Structure formats: structure tokens, C-alpha cells
Amino acid sequence: MSTHLSRPAGALAVAALSAVLLGACGTTTPPATPPAARSAAATPAASAPATTPAPATSPAPSPPAGALVLGPTGYGALRLGMTPAQAAATKLITPLAGRQDGCWRYAHLKGSPATGEDDIAGRLFFSAKLGLAAVYAYPGIKTPEGITVGSTLAELRRTYPSWEAVGGEAEGRGYVTVPGNAEAVYRIETGSGKVVQLSLQLAGQDCYE
């Protein structure tokens, strides 16, 4: 016996099938993420290259305490009577220059504006027999009593009443026994009413005058 679907039932079946097909066609599937996009998303952002900090500039070394005071036995770590090598080891002087014999060996104090062979400001004289025989000041260096290049003649006489210019002149070079060191003298030269040269030297130095 053959079974036939009635027309209404067949129409309903066809309509139901069409609805299913239409629903399937209307559903959209999101496009796959491109491989490149997946790769970019998975890779963390590159960090900025690390910068190497600039090396810190070392500050210029400060002079040791007392280095700007001349006397009574020397200048800072420098001492009258030192050999050239001992004086150089203090690192307070420029490289040694000049001949080894006599008093031709010399240097200058670091910080001195003068460094030539004929420049007296800040100069050191080394005796072949006595070692460091004289240390000349440059402006800014003072004796413990406060006398410096540029001090007035009145200040000099008030500070060192025994100072007198050689030969009885009103001005010129004169000598004062260093307070606290009987083996040394200050050689102090004046001109135009002011101190123009100042040195600490061995009383028996054999380099000049």
C-alpha cells in the first residue's frame, strides 16, 4: 500500500526545510584572524633600547687642608729639605724640570699661574745638597700670620715688626725668621707699598743671594 503525503503536509515540510536552509545561510562566521595579525598580537611590543648613562665627570680634586698656607715648615705635605722625588710624591707640584746639578732642578706649585723656568710665582728651588730649599708663594697663598702677595707694607710691618729691607732701603727684599721654625726664614720683597714676592726658605739655602 503506497503512502502519499497530503499537499498541505508536503508544503509544510518544504517550508520547514527552506527555513532551516535560510537560517543556515544567514549565520555569519567571523573571518579567521590573519596569521600576521595573530603573530603581532602574540608578540609583546619591543621595548626601547636601553641607554648607557654618560660617565660621571670626576670633580677636580681639592687641595689638602692647609695647602694654601706657607709655613712654618712647608706647604701642605711639602716640607723644606725634601728630595725632588719626595716632593713629587706629594702631588702638589708640577713635573720636575731643569738640570740635576746645583739648584737647577725646579718645579712649581700646582695652581700657580706661572710655570716657566724664569717664573718665580709658585716656584720651588731644589738644592743638590739641601733638597727643597725654597718655596715661593703665588697670589692667594698666605703665611699662617696672614701675609700674602699683595699685602700692604703697613700690614707687613705690623705682622712682622723685625722685617727690614736689605741695605736700609725703604723697600726691597728683607728677611723674617719664621715663627715656629728657627731653621727657616721668610724672604719678603716689597715694591710700591706692597708685598710683591714671598717665599719660605731654609735659612742656609745655597741657591741664590
**Hey, how many other C-beta atoms are within 10 angstroms of the C-beta on 3?**
4
- Helix residue ranges per DSSP H, 31-152: 35-42, 84-89
pLDDT of residue 120: 95
At 85, is the pLDDT very low, low, confident or very high (cuts 50, 70, 90)? very high
User: Grid coordinates 692667594 are at which residue?
Assistant: 140
pLDDT band at 67 (very low <50, low <70, confident <90, very high): low
Share above pLDDT 70 across residues of the chain, in percent, rounded to a whole number = 68
Mapped onto helix, strand or coil, the DSSP state of residue 145 is: coil
Q: Average of pLDDT values for 18-44?
A: 40
Displacement of CA 16 from its chain's centroid (Å): 94
pLDDT of residue 204: 96
SS3 state of residue 167: helix
pLDDT tens-place string over residues 185-202? 999 999 999 999 999 999
Mean pLDDT for 137-146 is: 97
Which one-letter DSSP state was computed for residue 93? B
How far apart are the C-alpha atoms of 119 and 140, rounded to whole Å?
A: 17
Prediction pTM value = 0.69
CB 141 within 8 A of CB 78: no
Mean pLDDT of the chain: 79
